[in-house]
Amino acid sequence: MTEKAPKLRAALDGIPTYKPGRPPAPGGPRAYKLSSNENPYPPLPGVLETATAAAGSFNRYPDMACTALLAELADRFEVPVTHLATGTGSVGVAQQLLQATAGPGDEVIYAWRSFEAYPIITQISGAASVRVPLTGGEDHDLDAMADAVTDRTRLIFVCTPNNPTGNAVRRAELERFLDRVPGDVLVVLDEAYREFVRDPGIPDGIELYRDRPNVCVLRTFSKAYGLAGLRVGFAVAHEPVAAALRKTAVPFGVSQIAQDAAVASLRSENELLKRVDALVAERGRVLRELRAQGWTVPETQANFVWLRLGDRTADFAAACEKAGVVVRPFAGEGARVTIGEAAANDLFLRTAESFRQEP
Ligand SMILES: Cc1ncc(COP(=O)(O)O)c(C=O)c1O
């Protein structure tokens, strides 16, 4: 044995680790997990049956080209199959995008605070993060983001609705921003929560991508479709971006179980989207009640709400946990709380109310 350790890339030094939403403490009292923006409903019986059937051949590699899934998506979104690429969750696709566009000396722009994977995958690529603070109203500051573009900028993430604040970017502002960004900079519209959007003023990225070759839309089966544990997401982008995503994909990354379950989910969309409607109704209720309690909550279009608690964040998360709901605290900033089943939301609302009454 030598004293030497393998040489690792310096780019990895100091990389922040991804903090997943915590599950309830093992062995503790029953608690609701409102910390990961998951869908609280169990798999639809038909989708579960399809996934179980696919498990019967997991001795075989999956279809590397995801043929059936891409055909279904192409049909569903009226896009050419060649404009689609899949990955292990949309975070997997986001990492493929960075591998395809950015490296040492390059810059990646995103709003902050936003999805916590952006700094991690940017740093892994070797590129530098350029974080543009959210406005006081928790919105993307798209003018400042456009101003931040330099000749080193390779990619810009626009997270809409934004994780963890929930608010989404409006059509006129987004179009103005896209018109300002040079055509050789890739703009990634991360729409992981798109199915929860109800405000007609929020544009559908897939409409914006159609005549903009530098726009790429990210979507996922993890949230509205309830397949978080199966890891499948996809991008819609013109060539050559979509082709580059196929090059940077982990071979056979998306399992056959995930592919078949995703196809079955698209075919059961009516049933699944009823569940999304129920969550959206719950979101409305939670938002109204929180505001009635006196909280300032951004107008969320996602399946979560954001409470900017500052230095009371840790205390709030602890109070929630004690009451039986696990939320997602961002130390010193605020807490993100997923909309769950009605009983979980009730418990959270009661806890939020008593917390406000504490001195
Ligand atoms: C904004 C955003 N994008 C992407 C993802 C990644 O989701 P997945 O990799 O499960 O598709 C998440 C998950 O929390 C998210 O909040």
- 90-103 residue pLDDT tens: 999 999 999 999 99
CATH of the domain at 159: 3.40.640.10
Atom of ligand 1 nearest to the CA of 92: 9
On whether both 63 and 180 belong to a single domain, the answer is yes
Atom 6, ligand 1: which residue's CA is nearest?
A: 91
pLDDT at 218 over 70: yes
Same structural domain, 137 and 238: yes
Query: Is 300 inside a domain boundary?
Result: yes
pLDDT of residue 1: 65
Instruction: Count helices and strands (H / E) in the chain.
Output: 12, 12
**What's the pLDDT at 150?**
98
Q: What's the CA gap between 188 and 209, in Å, rounded?
A: 10
Regarding the beta carbon of 163 and ligand 1, being less than 6 Å apart is answered: yes
- How far is 102 from 127, CA to CA, in rounded Å? 6
Where in the sequence is the domain holding 177, given as residue range(s)? Answer: 56-267
Distance (angstroms) between ligand 1 centre and the Cα of 81 equals 23
Tokens representing 334? 């605020």
Same domain, 255 and 313: no
234: pLDDT strictly greater than 70:
yes
Counting residues of the chain whose pLDDT is more than 90, the rounded percentage is 91
Lowest mean pLDDT among 20-24, 58-62, 158-162, 268-272: 20-24
Same domain, 164 and 198: yes
Name the residue of 222, 303, 339 whose CB sits within 8 Å of the most ligand 1 atoms, as the mutation to test its pocket.
222
Task: Indicate which atom in ligand 1 lies nearest the CA of residue 223.
Answer: 10
Residue 222 in contact with ligand 1 by CB distance below 6 A? yes
Could you read off the pLDDT of 7-45 as tens digits, one per residue? Answer: 999 888 888 877 777 777 777 667 899 999 999 999 999
The answer to which of 5-19, 62-76, 276-290 has the lowest mean pLDDT is 5-19
Domain membership of residue 257 (yes or no) is yes
H or E segment at 187? strand 186-190
Tell me what pLDDT residue 144 has: 98
| Pairs from 266-274 (Cβ < 8 Å, separation ≥ 24) | 266/72, 266/73, 266/76, 267/72, 268/44, 268/46, 268/47, 271/44, 272/44, 272/224, 272/225, 272/226, 273/195, 273/224
Residue 91: CB within 6 Å of ligand 1?
A: yes
- Rounded to two decimals, the pTM is 0.96
Q: Domain boundary at 243, 267, 291, which?
A: 267
Residue 5 CA to ligand 1 center (angstroms) comes to 34
| Mean predicted confidence (pLDDT) in 44-73 | 97
| pLDDT tens readout for residues 183-195 | 999 999 999 999 9
- Same domain for 263 and 279, yes or no, is no
| Among 236, 267, 298, residue at a domain's last position | 267
**Residue 9 falls inside a structural domain:** no
Q: What is the pLDDT of residues 134-151, one digit of tens each?
A: 999 999 999 999 999 999
Q: Which of 90, 232, 250 to mutate to test the pocket of ligand 1 (most atoms within 8 A of CB)?
A: 90
298 C-beta closer than 6 A to ligand 1: no
1 occurs within a structural domain: no
Write down which residue in 267, 288, 309 finishes a domain.
267
Pocket mutation for ligand 1, best pick of 36, 96, 223, 304 (most atoms within 8 Å of C-beta): 223
Q: Does residue 161 share a domain with residue 97?
A: yes
Here the tokens at position 151 are 């000749």
Q: What is the pLDDT of residue 17?
A: 79
Cβ(220) – ligand 1 distance below 6 Å: yes
Domain assignment of residue 4, yes or no: no
Residue 15 lies in a domain: no
344 and 301 in one domain? Answer: yes
Give the Å distance between the CA of 199 and the centre of ligand 1.
21
What is the number of domains present in the chain?
2
Average pLDDT, the chain: 96
Both structure tokens of 156: 């810009």
Which pLDDT tens digit goes with each residue over 167-185? 999 999 999 999 999 999 9
The tens digit of pLDDT for each residue in 310-342 reads: 999 999 999 999 999 999 999 999 999 999 999
